Each structure stands twice: as structure tokens, then as C-alpha cells.
Amino acid sequence: MNFSKKINQIRRTITRSLTSKIGFSSPYQQKYKTIQPNEVKTILLSRPNARVGNLLLITPLIQELTAVFPNCTIDVLLKGSVGPVLFKNYDAIQNIISLPGKPFKQLKTYLGVWISLREKHYDVAINVDFESSSGRLSTRFSNATYKFFGDINDEIKSKFTDYEHIAKYPIYSLRQSLAQLGLPENNNPIPNLALKLSPSELDLGKEMLQKMVGNDQKTICIFTYATGEKCLSELWWNDFYSQMKSEYPKYNIVEILPKENCSKINFKAPSFYSKDLREMGAVLANSSIFIGADSGIMHLASAVHIPTIGLFSVSKSTKYQPYNTKSVSFDAEKYTVNDCITIVKSVLTAS
């Protein structure tokens, strides 16, 4: 671990210790009255991490909020390169993801964002990640009537086997808090990730994919890159690619490239990259399956509702695995390439 990482780790430890007592059970929240869903007009989401995957992982919570509070508008507090960024009235994070090249741009100064949190009154403020100290602080600092901090207690842990998932526990926590404030208990399935692509976007994705492969055969998309230790070796990927070519001669195999323009299979397959995440999502949406390591692109595939196999090696699959009815996680450290091919077969057969 280098020096800067050590400093950041120490900083996180200190700030988490200082903010760990900020939560729903705090004395100032015991004054809350029964919440009236139709009267909730403004909501603040605090998620001080603007990586692509984390933006997509907010979409189930936004779907939940718009279902419970039909008259609401939602502001999103993210973290920019020089501090927090406040996005106002964005629809289900879709417009943030629409910005080509970067998922967002700086809209206010650092101090201006914090002032905004006090100037504007919110009916509800929500900290999305219970482990985020800055999320807790910004939620606490906001001028909101109801403040929810995303805490997970023993009741939630005992009731839901998937409570660890980073897209699900904010919803479980919110539902429990709202039930304590007089709303009926909500046992509906957790919404899936959702990148709301238009018919024209999907048509464009189909056209781009067909132009790449030059035929009407079904397509398998792979993503051989990931950050740091999450990235599997060239040996693993070359073995996997050669076996997939043998097993699926009637399928196209397309490699989705990262912005770093690198390939663990040395660009043997037709490849695709776009700075426009929605364009990339539209291409993925027209494929039959996606296989790739834990990454924002993995969550993008899941968000366009295609079967997704997430390859995990160091990160925690119970927290970050792709999820929709057709998605699974695969432990690449524990199982072999042959085992992964077997999983691909079962997913393709079922879809």
C-alpha cells in the first residue's frame, strides 16, 4: 500500500469513528411524525461517489422513491474532482449518465454546495451508503424534515439474505424507517437497476452492433478489463476466449473496451468503445449475454437487463454482484474457466 492510500485509510477510519453515531436512532429524529407520501415534494440523495457503477446502483432506490412519493423531485449530491456536486431535479440519474465523456460536470463551488444544502428545504434527505462518512455528514447538515441514514440493524439482517448488496440495503433501510413512521410495510421485490433507453437508442445500438459483426447472429459481449486486482490475467481470458469460440461458433463475440483502450485478449475479437454510456448500454442491450469482471460496465449490462455474469476475484460478490432475474456472480478465484463456460451455457439456455 502506497503512502497516499495509507493516509486515505487513516482518514476514513477517523471520519467513520466521528460519524458512526449519526443515524436514525439519534435523539433529534425521535420527534418525527407520521409521514404523508403525497406531501413529499423534494428529496435529497447523498452519494458522494460518482463512478459509473455507483450511479447505476442508485437507480433501484430512485424507482422506489418515485413509487412511494409520486409527487417528488430528487436532487443528487455526488462527489466531483474538487468536491461535492449537487444535481437538481434529475430524473432517475438518467441525465447524469447521458453526459458524454464524464458522468458529470462541476456545477457549484465546494462551499456553494454546502450552502445549498442549508438554503433549500427538503422534505426527505437520504444517505445512500451507510459506510460513507461524508454521506452521513451531508445528510445531517441538510435542511430536511426527515433524515434517513441508511443504517442496517439486526432485524434487517435476519429478514433479508441479500441485505449486503449495495443497491438493496438502502431500500431495506428506507422501508423499515418509513414503516416506523406509519406507512404500510412494503414487501415488494427490490427494483432492478435501470438505464431507461428509448426505442430510438435501442435501434441505434442494434445498428451499431450489426455494423461491427456484419451478420444477424446472436452476440456475446465480454469485458476483459477491471481496475487493480479485480482484473483477471491474460492467461485466464485467452483460455476463456478460445473455449468460447469453440463452444459458440454461431455466436459473435464482441469485446467492450475500457477508456484505457486495453484488451486482455490482445484485440482478437471485434471491439467497441464509446464515451457515451447510453450508446454503450444500447449496444449491450442488443446482445445475448455479458461476461466481465466487477466494474461499472458490468452494472451497465445489468441495468439494460441482459443476462450478466460477473467475474469476482477480490471484491465482495454479496455486495457488488450484478442483479436482475438473469444475472449471476462467478468466483474466478475458486472455480476454473471450464466452470465458467458451464455457467454461460446454463444462462444462455435459460434466457
Locate 99 and state its grid cell: 453526459
pLDDT for residue 145: 93
Domain assignment present for 313: yes
Judged against a pLDDT cut of 90, whether residue 266 lies above it is answered with yes
Residue for cell digits 459483426?
213
105 plus 216 within the same structural domain: no
pLDDT for residue 335: 96
Q: Residue 246 in contact with residue 214, Cβ under 8 Å? A: no
58 plus 161 within the same structural domain: yes
Enumerate the β-bridge partners of residue 310: 292, 329
Domain assignment present for 8: no
**For 234-264, what is each residue's pLDDT tens digit?**
999 999 999 999 999 999 999 999 999 999 9
Domain assignment present for 1: no
Domain assignment present for 274: yes
335 to 3, 311, 340: CA distances (angstroms) = 34, 10, 7
**Domain containing residue 149: CATH number:** 3.40.50
Which ranges constitute the DSSP H helices of 128-192?
133-141, 154-159, 169-180
Spatial separation of the C-alpha atoms in residues 264 and 22, rounded to whole Å: 44
| Local confidence band at 51 (pLDDT 50, 70, 90 cut-offs) | confident
**For 124-157, what is each residue's pLDDT tens digit?**
999 999 888 889 999 999 999 999 999 999 999 9
Q: Report the domain count for the chain.
A: 2
| Local confidence band at 77 (pLDDT 50, 70, 90 cut-offs) | confident
**For 168-216, what is each residue's pLDDT tens digit?**
999 999 999 999 998 999 999 999 999 889 999 999 999 999 999 999 9
Q: At what angle do helices 277-285 and 296-303 cross, to 10 degrees?
A: 60
64 plus 125 within the same structural domain: yes
Domain assignment present for 187: no
**Domain containing residue 286: CATH number:** 3.40.50.2000
The parent domain of residue 218 ranges over 199-350
217 plus 176 within the same structural domain: no
Q: Which helix (H) or strand (E) holds 28?
A: none
176 plus 203 within the same structural domain: no
78 plus 19 within the same structural domain: yes
